[in-house]
A and B are shown apart, each in its own frame.
Chain A
Amino acid sequence: MEIFGAVITLIGSIFLLLGGLGILRMPDVYNRMQTGTKATTLGSILFLIGISIGHYECGCLGKIAIIILFIIFTNPISSNTLARAAHFAGIKLTSRSVKDDLKEDDLENKGEEK
C-alpha cells in the first residue's frame, strides 16, 4: 500500500517539476500558461492522492480531499483570467503560433458594430 502511494507521489512530483521546467523553457506567455496550470494541476492532484494513500492512518484524508477539490475548482479559473488579461493587455503571440480565435472574434464584433 505504501509502495503504491509512493509511486503515485513520485509521478505527481515529476509532473510538478515538469511544470516548472515548462515555465522556464516555453517561448510565450500563453504556452507558459498551458504548462504552468495544466501540468501543475494534474501533478498536485496526483501528489496529494499519493500522499493520502501513503499516510492513510493519519486521519486527515477529509482535509486533503477538500484541498484537492479546491485546486480543481480554482486553478482553471485563475489561468483563464490570466490568459484573458494577457490578451487584452496586448501581449503578442510567438511567431510560430498558428491561430488566434479570440482576436478573430474581436474583429467580427467590431465589424458588426460598424
Chain B
Amino acid sequence: MSVTLSIIFLFIIVLGIFLSLIRMLLGPTPSDRAVAVDTITTTIVALFVLLALIFDRYIYLDISLVYSLLAFVGLVAIARFMEKGI
C-alpha cells in the first residue's frame, strides 16, 4: 500500500477526530464529553496502527494496545463516577 494512499486515509481519520473534538468542546453535559472521548480513543487506536505501518515502527502496535486498554479502564471509571459518585 503506497504512502500517498496511507496519507489520504490519515486525513479522513483526522477529520473524524476533529468533528468529535468539536463535540467534546461544545457538549452540554458531561456524558456528551465522555461519549466523544470514547469515539476519539477508538479512532486513535486505528490511527496508531496506520502510523506504525507507514513508519515501519512496529512498537506502535503495542502502544495502541496499551492505549486502548487504559482508555477502556478510564472510561468505565468515569461512567461509574457519573452514576453513583465516589
Which residues on A are within 8 Å of B, measured CB to CB?
2, 5-6, 9-10, 12-14, 16-21, 23-24, 29, 32-33, 36-37, 40-41, 43-44, 47-48, 51, 54-55, 58, 60, 63-64, 66-67, 70-71, 74-75, 77-79, 81-82, 84-86, 88-89, 91
Contacts and interface: CB of A to CB of B under 8 A. Distances in A.
Nearest to A14: B12
Contact of B29 (A23, A29, A55): A29
A33 B35 contact: yes
A23 B72 contact: no
Nearest to A62: B61
Contact of A36 (B20, B53, B76): B20
B23 A81 contact: no
B38 A13 contact: no
A29 to B, nearest CB: 5
20 contacts: A13-B9, A13-B13, A13-B16, A16-B43, A17-B13, A21-B19, A23-B36, A33-B35, A40-B43, A47-B9, A63-B61, A63-B65, A75-B42, A78-B72, A78-B79, A81-B79, A85-B31, A86-B31, A86-B82, A89-B31
Interface of B: 1, 5, 9, 12-13, 15-20, 22-23, 29-32, 34-36, 38-39, 42-43, 45-46, 49-50, 52-53, 56, 58, 61-62, 64-65, 68-69, 72, 75-76, 79-80, 82-84
Given A12-B46, A67-B45, 13 more contacts: A17-B16, A20-B43, A24-B20, A36-B38, A37-B38, A44-B46, A58-B58, A63-B61, A63-B62, A64-B61, A74-B68, A79-B38, A82-B75
Nearest to A29: B31
A88 B83 contact: yes
Majority secondary structure of chain A interface residues (helix, strand, loop or mixed)? helix
A64 B17 CA distance: 21
Contacts, number: 156
